[in-house]
Structure 1
């Protein structure tokens, strides 16, 4: 457990932003210091650092950054009980495309198992059983030590581009391989992601605004049920994962 006195001492010594903490219990990260809205979640075993220049007032959340994907957020003071000093700093793995390809079957197995559990769409969800689209993607790959950025548009920028936003999607499936990511959203920015399963099918966590509330399998097709048709009209592009994310930010 971390105390505010510990943080205060590290802050005064000027070392706080370089000290890593290990997460030992499921943790919610908020999207603003005075917000109750979920930005993302972090599971035990992950690392974070603090980005404080002064300790917040009681009731105001603490600024943090997750080490594996550089994702920022805020945690409540009571969440300090979910942290312990890290015995060693997080070290990112370096994987080849062949190594990633060999693990894709297990990534898919994780998603199928998650789909078989009672679940619903949760904005910011990565812990399960409730996920958002990019949270499911990140967690499934992370279970195989393959790290992706957190959000759908970040994941699209990280992958090897297979199609560009606004391009023709005729014969789209001919360029896709099992394990590729399919992105959806307006031409300006992807806001949804799915994993391609082959045979024109993809798996994703989808919200009620698109006709489902949770994880399901749909088709890349202009015709089908309401969910399939809705997403087909929003296809933004596709990408292939050829490496594991390497953190860019060592401290705030």
Structure 2
């Protein structure tokens, strides 16, 4: 009799949880701010935004990130209901995200819900080409599908693969950015090898260099061995040693003056004369606006987030009147979040990489300039920020 009563109570309690759009919305509203708070702690960015989308039927609820939010973390949750029992299958990047989902399960689903989590990387690797493209979707197509690029020697966490293993979704450790990379662009490592390499990287090449048959553009990553009066001696992820002159590498701590000197080297008729604009580009000879800012700072061993809105969240806000050389200057086409970024020089001068204006590439403009392009930039000015972290 007691067993029968207990089974009836269990059945009633399970039936009381009905899958619906309303329930999915409640779960999403509960999870979203907690995921954003965790992302802020992980990235040191203020108020990062994630958009969680969902689909709901009486038998199943699925939660996933919007396409734009996929750059920030790995998150998918599928909840099915079979014979009055709920089954959860989830894929996340961080253990803290797993705990957030577990707390939502405890709050919104039956007590005997079966839970299956996959957390963290499935493997470890490093980008071994001079430059590797990082795609939004697992297909070799640039244009709008080009999300970012990985410099030579960048450690990556390998998170998942497509069906035929021709692409892997990875997170680049330099900036925490997620995207898909061709499997041929990856060199796999053991966890121990990866940790040793990730802990040893301290140098960036400031000029294009040749390693046997690999051409490494500006921004490649190496580990420092030692230096003498004439040369700097470095090693790569394969533990091969290389010797170069001092001017090809950056070792000293950055000053704002040095950062701006580096930025000017990307101007036409300067050291890097072919620098052009490329959506998704992060190195020579092509960058987009945030890629140019990120590369300039990276050449001084300062690692910034990838996109302009992420860089805005990472920076300390300053007024336009108090902005100094090297501070970030943000613009927005719609006023919601930054869509363009450059670097302050002084007064109303700034340097940036843009496809618009007199030519495609790195250029200097004025906020109070007289050209139609400069008037437009003044109109969409959004904010200024300082890198202090």
Identify the TM-score tier after normalising by the shorter chain: 0.7 to 0.9
| Match status 1:197 vs 2:349 | no
Q: Secondary structure at the match of 1:17?
A: coil
Q: Partners in 2 of 1:27 and 1:75 — Cα distance?
A: 7
1:31-110 matches, within 5 Å, as: 31-34=136-139, 36=141, 37-52=145-160, 55-58=161-164, 61-80=167-186, 83-85=187-189, 86=194, 88-91=196-199, 102-110=254-262
Would you say the 8 A contact 1:34–1:60 is kept in 2? no
Deviation at 1:101, TM superposition (A): 8.7
Determine the structure 1 residue equivalent to 2:134. Answer: 29
Q: Secondary structure at the match of 2:162?
A: coil
Q: Secondary structure at the match of 1:88?
A: helix
Determine the structure 2 residue equivalent to 1:113. Answer: 265
Q: Partners in 2 of 1:79 and 1:188 — Cα distance?
A: 36
Q: Partners in 1 of 2:306 and 2:335 — Cα distance?
A: 20
1:59-92, Cα deviation, whole Å (9 max, x unpaired): 8521111012110000123323xx3533615249
Would you say the 8 A contact 2:354–2:360 is kept in 1? yes
1:98-154, Cα deviation, whole Å (9 max, x unpaired): xx9952222222221111312221001112111100001111111111111000000
1:191-234, Cα deviation, whole Å (9 max, x unpaired): 100100113210000113x553111000121x422321121111
Task: Structure 2 unaligned segments of length 5 or more: list them.
Answer: 1-117, 202-251
Most deviating of 136-145 and 107-116? 107-116
TM-score when normalising by structure 2: 0.50
**Are the structure 2 counterparts of residues 180 and 102 from structure 1 closer, same or farther at C-alpha, using a change threshold of 3 Å?**
same
Deviation at 1:27, TM superposition (A): 0.7
Q: Secondary structure at the match of 1:63?
A: strand
Q: Secondary structure at the match of 2:259?
A: helix
1:23-72, Cα deviation, whole Å (9 max, x unpaired): 222111111124622110111121111101xx423385211110121100
Determine the structure 1 residue equivalent to 2:124. Answer: 20
Q: How big is the alpha-carbon RMSD for the aligned residues of Structure 1 and Structure 2?
A: 2.6
**Are the structure 2 counterparts of residues 58 and 147 from structure 1 closer, same or farther at C-alpha, using a change threshold of 3 Å?**
same
**Are the structure 2 counterparts of residues 158 and 15 from structure 1 closer, same or farther at C-alpha, using a change threshold of 3 Å?**
closer
User: Which has the bigger relative contact order, CA under 8 A and spacing at least 6?
Assistant: 1
Q: Partners in 2 of 1:123 and 1:92 — Cα distance?
A: 31
Task: Give runs of ≥4 in structure 1 deviating > 3 Å.
Answer: none
Q: Secondary structure at the match of 2:364?
A: strand
1:87-236 matches, within 5 Å, as: 88-91=196-199, 102-115=254-267, 116=270, 117-163=273-319, 172=320, 174-185=321-332, 186-208=334-356, 210=357, 212-221=359-368, 223-236=369-382
